[in-house]
Amino acid sequence: MSVDEKLIDIISKMKAPKMSKGFWAKFDAELGWKLDAAEAGRISPKAVLAHAIINFFAVFREFKFKRAFVTASFALIVIAFSLIFSVRNGPGLYSVASLTSDELIEELIFIDNSEVSENIIDF
């Protein structure tokens, strides 16, 4: 037997004390009163609403939700940074349909004068 196995074997013998019948009778009586009170409180509208709210937020404590939340947050961060850097480094992008006639003419002149215009096919 390894050291760990011996250690676990010893520790696993550490049982909880065996309580007397009197203790369990008191346990049952007290729990009975508490459950009676809970039963009476359970049907009140306030208790129902409070319980619903608690249950809603309890979802966020579950491990599966936490894992999904972390994954979604990471994905959002990646997308946000991609957008930020693409807007910063690239030319400002905007819809041509939003331009007035004068602005459109200016843009066409700009394109015509810029180096890339050599690559634009003339229709």
Partner 1 sequence: MDPELDLIIRAKKGERVAFDSLVEIHKEKAFALAYHFTGNPEDAKDLSQEAFVRAFVGMRDFRGDSGFYTWFYRILVNLCRDFLRRRKSRSKVFMERGRSWIGEDTEDMPEPVDSTPDPSEAVLDDETRQLISEALDKLPERQKTVFVLRHLHGMKLSEIAEVVGCSEATAKVHLFRATRGLRCQLTKSLSI
Binding site for partner 1 (CB under 8 A): 3-4, 6-8, 10-24, 26-27, 30-31, 34-35, 38-39, 42, 51, 55, 61-63
Q: Do residues 119 and 110 make contact, with C-beta atoms less than 8 angstroms apart? A: no
In whole angstroms, the minimum distance from the beta carbon of 61 to partner 1 comes to: 7
Residues whose CB falls within 8 Å of the CB of residue 27, separated by 6 or more in sequence, listed in order: 19
Does the CA dihedral 45-48-50-56 come out positive or negative?
negative
Distance, in Å, from the CA atom of 73 to the CA atom of 76, rounded to the nearest integer, reads: 5
In whole angstroms, the minimum distance from the beta carbon of 76 to partner 1 comes to: 23
Nearer to partner 1, 21 or 46 (CB): 21
Nearer to partner 1, 51 or 75 (CB): 51
Nearer to partner 1, 42 or 110 (CB): 42
The DSSP 8-state label assigned to residue 122 in this structure reads P
Nearer to partner 1, 12 or 100 (CB): 12
In whole angstroms, the minimum distance from the beta carbon of 24 to partner 1 comes to: 8
Distance, in Å, from the CA atom of 8 to the CA atom of 2, rounded to the nearest integer, reads: 10
Tokens of 120: 């634009």
In whole angstroms, the minimum distance from the beta carbon of 80 to partner 1 comes to: 28
